[in-house]
């Protein structure tokens, strides 16, 4: 009789797995259900492997799982669909299972099926979503938790969908504004590498044949080119090592904090990053307040969602101020993050009881500033790129073509 590997969840929602000898996969599912378990995966048992092979297979599976992700477009579509299904009165388990079966993303399908299984085991929706932090953020879970407790799940899904759409549009604007400068910089880097590795060495052979004294500009250019030719592999390995080391350091809390701090102070780009994060704060905080999340919990959620460790620390400082009894306006002013106009809007919102609405307006104010600065970004960077290209051409003219003209004159005479 064949054997089948299975994974399931028992009556208490705990994951289990093992192997059962049965006539078919259907028989395995029936035995699991009779024992009070919910089957998740049933497949024919594989050939026995050594412990090392199983460990390697587990490691490879986990690594591949880490590479899989859910795009923001898919999450937006899921949120809109859930809002429509909840508004139509479709049971949540049925809605989740239906969306899982129709999803083209295998990873998202697996996540939704696991969420459905948790719901069938009696887990609330927010807790089921929280178990999949790589897909559903703390902000997403908090808004859904409030919507679940207030009976307004459709409105909660609608709000997170609108927020994700705003995030997507902001990311698109930044990518669109930085695409041209990045393309030019990459092209300049490739051109410098080709010149030093292939073009200048060819001219060096010509200069050696004339055995004439070369100007210092040419000697410097030839020395740099020779360094590239002799040590290009070492430079490549060093660049990879530096890149890997920086990535590891930036994953630490201290490295992330330092980078996020200095990123806000970069010339030209720093003010754009700051306004993007401030717009995100205003829009996110307005949404969690409209959803009914308590202020202190909302500030914690916003701190985790803002995407900048330094500003997240400032927001947590605001939460501590609110816990001490200070007003939102006082804590916002103490943080030093906001402009006087926005502080005035927050103050008016506290006085009128409409902080969420005025925060949304403040977010729109920052969004307009971001749009304006992104439009000016290309105009600000273009002169720098032109100067860089002109400097490269000037170096080539002085270091390569000028000696060639001199040598050609000597040869004619």
* Res 190 pLDDT > 80: yes
For 263-279, what is each residue's pLDDT tens digit?
Answer: 888 887 888 888 888 88
* Res 366 pLDDT > 50: yes
Torsions phi, psi of 3, nearest 5? Answer: -110, 150
* Res 26 pLDDT > 70: no
Q: Distance between CA atoms of 307 and 170, rounded to whole angstroms?
A: 13
Q: Work out the angle at residue 307's Cα, subtended by the Cα atoms of residues 306 and 310, and round it to the nearest 5 degrees.
A: 90
Q: Work out the angle at residue 180's Cα, subtended by the Cα atoms of residues 178 and 182, and round it to the nearest 5 degrees.
A: 65
For 292-350, what is each residue's pLDDT tens digit?
Answer: 778 888 888 888 878 788 888 888 888 888 888 888 888 888 888 887 877 888 888 88
Half-sphere exposure of residue 89: CA atoms within 13 angstroms, side-chain side:
0
Q: Distance between CA atoms of 267 and 72, rounded to whole angstroms?
A: 30
The per-residue pLDDT of the chain, averaged, comes to 81
Confidence at 177, pLDDT banded by 50, 70, 90: confident
User: Higher pLDDT residue, 291 or 257?
Assistant: 257
Q: Work out the angle at residue 108's Cα, subtended by the Cα atoms of residues 163 and 74, and round it to the nearest 5 degrees.
A: 35
For position 253, what pLDDT does the model report? 85
Beta bridge partners of 38: 9
* Res 228 pLDDT > 90: no
Mean pLDDT of 49-76: 62
For position 353, what pLDDT does the model report? 81
Confidence at 212, pLDDT banded by 50, 70, 90: low
Give me 382's structure tokens. Answer: 């273009």
């Amino acid at each position: 009789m064949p054997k089948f590997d299975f994974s399931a969840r028992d009556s208490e929602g705990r994951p289990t797995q093992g192997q059962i000898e049965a006539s078919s996969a259907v028989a395995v599912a029936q035995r699991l259900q009779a024992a009070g378990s919910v089957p998740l995966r049933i497949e024919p048992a594989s050939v026995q492997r050594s412990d090392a092979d199983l460990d390697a297979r587990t490691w490879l599976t986990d690594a591949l799982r880490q590479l899989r992700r859910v795009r923001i477009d898919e999450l937006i579509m899921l949120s809109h669909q859930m809002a429509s299904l909840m508004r139509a009165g479709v049971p949540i388990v049925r809605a989740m299972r239906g969306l899982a079966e129709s999803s083209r993303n295998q990873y998202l399908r697996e996540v939704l099926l696991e969420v459905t299984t948790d719901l069938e085991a009696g887990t609330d929706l927010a807790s089921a979503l929280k178990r999949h932090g790589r897909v559903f953020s703390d902000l997403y879970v908090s808004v859904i938790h409030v919507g679940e407790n207030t009976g307004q799940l459709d409105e909660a899904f609608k709000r997170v969908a609108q927020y994700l759409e705003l995030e997507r549009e902001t990311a698109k604007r930044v990518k669109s504004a930085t695409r041209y400068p990045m393309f030019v910089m990459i092209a300049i880097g490739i051109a410098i590498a080709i010149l030093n590795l292939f073009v200048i060495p060819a001219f060096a052979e010509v200069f050696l044949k004339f055995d004439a004294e070369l100007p210092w500009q040419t000697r410097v250019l030839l020395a740099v080119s020779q360094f590239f030719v002799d040590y290009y592999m070492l430079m490549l390995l060093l660049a990879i090592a530096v890149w890997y080391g920086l990535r590891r350091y930036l994953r630490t809390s201290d490295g992330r904090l330092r980078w996020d701090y200095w990123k806000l102070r970069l010339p030209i780009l720093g003010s754009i990053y700051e306004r993007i994060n401030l717009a995100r704060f205003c829009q996110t905080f307005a949404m969690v307040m409209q959803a009914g999340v308590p202020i202190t919990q909302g500030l914690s959620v916003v701190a985790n969602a803002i995407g900048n460790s330094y500003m997240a620390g400032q927001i947590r400082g605001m939460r501590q101020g609110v816990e001490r009894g200070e007003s939102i306006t006082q804590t916002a002013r103490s943080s030093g993050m906001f402009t006087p106009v926005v502080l005035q809007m927050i103050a008016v919102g506290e006085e009128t009881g409409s902080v969420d609405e005025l925060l949304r307006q403040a977010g729109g104010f920052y969004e307009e500033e971001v749009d304006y600065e992104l439009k000016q970004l290309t105009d600000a960077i273009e002169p720098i790129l032109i100067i860089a290209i002109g400097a490269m051409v000037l170096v080539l003219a002085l270091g390569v073509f000028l000696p060639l003209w001199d040598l050609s004159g000597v040869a004619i005479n």
